Copies of this chain bind each other. A is one copy, B any other.
Amino acid sequence: VKKLKAAILGATGTVGQRFIQMLHEHPWFEVSDLMGKTSAGRRYGEAVNWLWSPEVPEEIRGIEVKPSKPRNLDSNIVFSAIPADEARTVEPSFAEAGFPVVSNASAHRMDPTVPLIIPEVNSGHLGLIDGQREGKGWDGFIVTNPNCSAINLALVLKPIHDLLTIEKVIVTTMQAVSGAGYPGVPSLSITDNVIPFIEREEEKMVTETRKILGRLEGGRVIEASFPIAASCNRVPTIDGHLESVYIDAEGEVDIEGVKEALRNFRGRPQDLGLPSAPADPIIVREEMDRPQTRLDRMGGTVPGMSVSVGRLRHGVDDDSLQITLIGHNTIRGAAGTAVLIGELLLAEKLIGGG
A residues near B (Cβ < 8 Å) are 14, 50-54, 168, 170, 172, 174, 177-178, 182-197, 227-229, 231, 233, 235-238, 242, 244, 246, 288-299, 303, 310-311, 315-317, 320, 322, 324, 326
- A188, B184: Cβ atoms under 8 Å? yes
Residues of B with C-beta under 8 A to A311: 196-197, 231
Copies of chain A in the complex: 4
Could you list 17 A-B pairs, sorted by A, with CB under 8 Å? A51-B189, A53-B294, A174-B174, A174-B194, A174-B235, A182-B186, A183-B188, A187-B189, A191-B238, A192-B237, A193-B293, A194-B292, A195-B289, A228-B316, A231-B311, A233-B242, A235-B236
Q: How far is the CA of A322 from the CA of B227 in the complex (A)?
A: 14
Complex-state Cα separation, A227 to B329, whole angstroms:
33
- What residues on B are CB-neighbors of A174 within 8 Å? 174, 194, 233, 235
Shortest distance in angstroms between A67's beta carbon and chain B's nearest beta carbon? 26
CB of A197 within 8 A of CB of B242, answer no
**A228: nearest chain-B partner, CB-CB:** B316
**B316 x A229 contact (CB < 8 A):** yes
Whole-angstrom distance from the CB of A292 to the nearest CB of chain B? 5
A154 to B292, CA, bound (A): 28
A191 adjacent to B187 (CB under 8 Å): yes
Contacts of A189 in B (CB 8 A): 51, 183, 187
